Amino acid sequence: MAAAGPPANATHDQYILLPHDEQHELSSSRRALKYKFAQSEITQNDRSFTARMLWRRYHSWALPALLSLCLVLLTWPATTQTSAFATDGASTRLAARADPPRKDDGFTDVVQWDNYTIFLHGQRVFLHSGEFHTFRLPVPDLWLDIFQKMVAAGLNGVSIYIHMGVTNPAPGVIDFNDWRALQPIFDAAKLAGILVVLRPGPYINAETTAGGIAHWATSLVAGTLRTNASDWTAAYQPYVNGIIDQTVPNEVTSGGPVLAVQVDNEYSQSPITHAEYFANLEKQYRDGGLLVPLTYNDPGEGRNFINGTGAVDIYGLDSYPQGFDCSNPTHWAPVVTNYHQYHIQNNPSEPWYMPEFQGGSFDPWGGPGYDACEVLTGPDFQDVFYKQNWASNVKLISYYMFYGGTSWGGLPFPGVYTSYDYGSSIRESRALSPKFDEVKRQGIFLRSSPEFRKTDWIGDSSTVIPNVNLSNSAAFVTLLKNPDTGTGFYITRQADSTSTSTISFNITLPTSNGTLVLPQTTDGITLNGRQSKVIVTDYSFGAHGSVLYSTASVFFAGTIGSRDVLFLFGDADQSHEAALTLTGNGARVQSSRVQFTTSRSSRGVTAITVLPGSTGLVTLWDSDTQLVFFADTVTAATFWAPAVPSSTPNTIRGFEHYWQFGTNTTVLVGGPYLVRNASFADGGRKLALRGDLNASVLLTVVAPPSVTEVTWNGEEVELRPTTQASGRGFLTGRLTQRAAVKSVQAPKLTGWKFADSLPEVQPGFDDSPWVLANHTTTNITNKPLFGDGRVLYGCDYGFCENNVLWRGHFNGTGSETSVNLTINGGSSFAASVWINDHFIDTVHNGADQINALFPFPNGSVRIGEDNVVTVLQDHMGNDEDSDEKSARGIPGFQLNSGNFTTWKVQGKVGGYLDFPDKVRGIFNEGGLFGERQGWHLPGFDLSSANFTARDLSEGLPSGGAGVGFFVTTFDLKIPSGTDTMMSFVFDGGVGNSGQAYRALLFVNGWKFGKRVANVGPQASFPVPPGILDYNGKNTIAVALWAMNNTAVSPSLELVVDGILDGGVGPIATNNPEWSPR
């Protein structure tokens, strides 16, 4: 039975090849889960799409065939729908049979795959994804903001790490509350219309402490982590069970967003203990009821977990070709040219998947900062390297990171600082970068091009491409071709992908109109340095549109209303050419920079040439059946193509907000900073847009002709007359930024109060409540180096993160002259040492472990009394990979001469078993006295702790080494309907000010910054709404650690980084106040 046809305003993406063979019929209840709407899957749309492709490819002989076909159609059943380009069932089945056999994981066929792509509910999907870690943005109401921005860029997937360490803070404790919850992730993803690849580890790397493995496990587990060791298995299984319980109801099989789950991360399949660990994880997932495919992310071309024990359903490659050195951001490595060959040699029956491809770079302590990382992996990098992946026939890809966020509290591993901006397409403040524009130009093209979802790799310039020739050896081309439609995708770049020179070339290639030399009307195709272009041939757009070739890039192709719409773009300083069949009654643009050429031999195809100097949006052709645009590259990026919810018989339940599965209706919107969503109202007469403005702009809308009104964020837009033909859905107006946006100002940070936060070095301090450090064995890999057998590793006593204090007691005899200590805190850590109340020294040299002799000052040892060596150390996080069991603490101690009687240790209150702040979680607090007292929390009574007035810029009263707490409050009243991005900036933004201090920044109790002033580079700390209370009182605390006897004078200000008129909506705060502890 034929399904109901598409809505009149369905776009090009609805026309998708679907299976049509008897072996794909419903045969089990398992398949019934997938094919609940099976009657609507093999639609007339698919037949007409196939027919159009066959017509375009074989029209020279198709007319006689069509005449014969008409005889068949006269006897076709009356219930069958027809169209001008409909084919008989045999032709459709013939095209479908070209597909290789599909595979599934044996648990569901809602998700299947062949060697080209995955299939979701029977439809091919190019998975275009980006990485986002919700734990690095602990404000659930902002997750929708990130998802909406990803979808607006043309992405249809998001890859999400889940952090075992924050979710499983203690043995057997699984916490999916507050910002650790998974259900708000899934709910926001469904609302935005984005698929989720969940990556819960237990190991995730991610430049986070212990690679995401719970800290307690690094101490309590005797066996080797990430193996089949029984105690490690017992440690992670409750966490994975929790993941399963949260995920199973949210799989795509149940109308949820979860498309796949990754098993662990970046590992080796040998020795066998590794492989059996993977096999155990996979069995646990399947025994728990998980149905979707299990995937893997291989670091480099390691060939791990493709076959054999622990093999996954879909293998993927992890690649960062630019590396992670942002200090020379204009230096490029060449593109990797063997990706396609590697895939064909190792997993040719699966689609080519890159779960992580470089979307930026992390930056180390003392690095150049993330602006440099953005340059290293900027729009030119994306243009060349991402399209090289396309040239390798990659059909599933995720960019790491797309939004990096903040490694607040104790989340970072020692190699990175608080910011995890990553130079991403969406910056840490949530602002869109120029990289976002490039991803959008690519993403909308991919969304608009179903032919690209199924392509054969034909060859490249290093092999032989039949009938293809380049006139210039400095150019390089790869040909991908759709085997069903003949559509060609010629992906071009310079042979030296690192070159900054400009080249020009001609290309000889086959088309359905014969072999052509392109361009035909200008001298050559220009490639600037570090630029890539996709030349298309025999490319379709909309319901009936056909492009013979285009050297201009395709931004959008589809149907809007009753018109087929094509949106081309290219650099304004270059010429561009496209040849297509213009239909309908319409008008051509009259411009000296645009030329139209039609000849008798062109078979109705018109060549359109855009000469250099063309800027802005140019309407090349405007008819009752077609609309063709050209814009320069920058202007194209100001347009958006939001999916408009429009239920059809093909809509899959649960996917109402998803492009391709819930709707194929869209509009084009030009001008705003961001378009978040669009919807129709009043029977399709009104188009309601929601989004953000960073300035007042001209609004351009291409919508169905029924639309006569437009609203922006609920306010009616005054539409203006246009030069376009009326009644065709081309609308213009002006969006004016509200005056309220300009009224936002950051308050001055004044009224600071101060209290000393290092009483531990004062005479008479009582450490009797502290934990006695008397262990003589440890499961941590590196054992103590010297001492008396006692183990002084913080995590063995429950203190696994942030600042930890040690107090070693000895009875003074007068012979004690020094102490030799080896202190381990992770790279770029620091440690200060006192004997009684005398400061000795602070050590810091960038290493993760330092051995030093600390001489006792004259008169500092009290003879015949108890003496105390106090060590304050900075814990920079645990290492990753095989070093998760990091020896943070004091691996070696020797009193010269004499012996320590007792060692005591103190970290955050309660350790990992009983820390009081369950909302902010295990990584928020450390062992500083002020933290233990809760001075950083809103609502603490400063008068109870003898705080006195003292400005932060005055530093510590002693002018020497020590720790002090500075606290102030301020009020914010940010206008509703705005998205204000704010940061706290130390020392005027100077990364390395040379001042020897470290500072912890607390915002309403959340540790949202670690400042190391004599290392840098971070001086600015973005803090999102939800952490900041934008309509209330805010408490700011700074724990200042002066590291030597030179006075320090830090400054701190709150600045507005940007203000947008719009935003995602109300943002809730969850900042619990102080309570007795």
User: Closest by alpha carbon to 603, among 625, 630, 577, 582?
Assistant: 582
3-state SS, residue 23: helix
As a whole number of Å, the end-to-end CA separation of the chain is 70
Q: Are 1003 and 1032 in contact (CB under 8 A)?
A: no
How big is the chain by its Cα radius of gyration, in Å? 32
Q: Are 812 and 863 in contact (CB under 8 A)?
A: yes
Q: Which residue has 């319409």 as its token pair?
A: 586
**Strands in 884-1005 per DSSP E:** 889-896, 902-906, 948-949, 962-973, 978-986, 997-1003
CA distance 483 to 491: 17
Residues with catalytic function: 266, 356
CA distances to 207, 325, 365 from 369, rounded to whole Å, are 16, 11, 9
Pairing of strands 1020-1023, 978-986: antiparallel
The CA angle 581-586-589, to the nearest 5 degrees, is: 85
Type of residue at 669: V
3-state SS, residue 916: coil
Type of residue at 933: Q
Helices (H), 288-433: 339-346, 370-376, 379-381, 387-391
Q: What are phi and psi of 915, to 5 degrees?
A: -70, 140
User: Closest by alpha carbon to 630, among 694, 679, 692, 580?
Assistant: 580
CA distance 17 to 187: 30
For residue 726, what are the contacts with CB-CB under 8 A and spacing of at least 6?
none
CA distance 82 to 780: 71
Q: Which residue has 């060859």 as its token pair?
A: 459
CA distance 536 to 488: 6
| Burial 604-613, CB ≥16 within 10 A → b, else e | ebbbbbbbee
For residue 669, what are the contacts with CB-CB under 8 A and spacing of at least 6?
639, 640, 641, 642, 675, 678, 689, 699, 700, 701
For residue 621, what are the contacts with CB-CB under 8 A and spacing of at least 6?
582, 586, 587, 588, 589, 608, 627, 628
User: Closest by alpha carbon to 534, among 509, 553, 560, 559?
Assistant: 553
User: Closest by alpha carbon to 477, among 553, 393, 538, 533?
Assistant: 533
CA distances to 503, 873, 977, 1001 from 829, rounded to whole Å, are 49, 8, 42, 17
Q: Are 610 and 671 in contact (CB under 8 A)?
A: no
Q: Are 963 and 870 in contact (CB under 8 A)?
A: no
3-state SS, residue 396: strand
Q: Which residues pair with 399 in a beta bridge?
A: 130, 357
Backbone dihedral region of 122: left (phi > 0), alpha (psi from -120 to 50 degrees) or beta? Answer: left
CA distance 378 to 435: 6
The H or E element containing residue 156 is none
Q: Which residues pair with 315 in a beta bridge?
A: 296
Type of residue at 512: S
Residue 624: alpha-carbon gap to chain centroid = 41
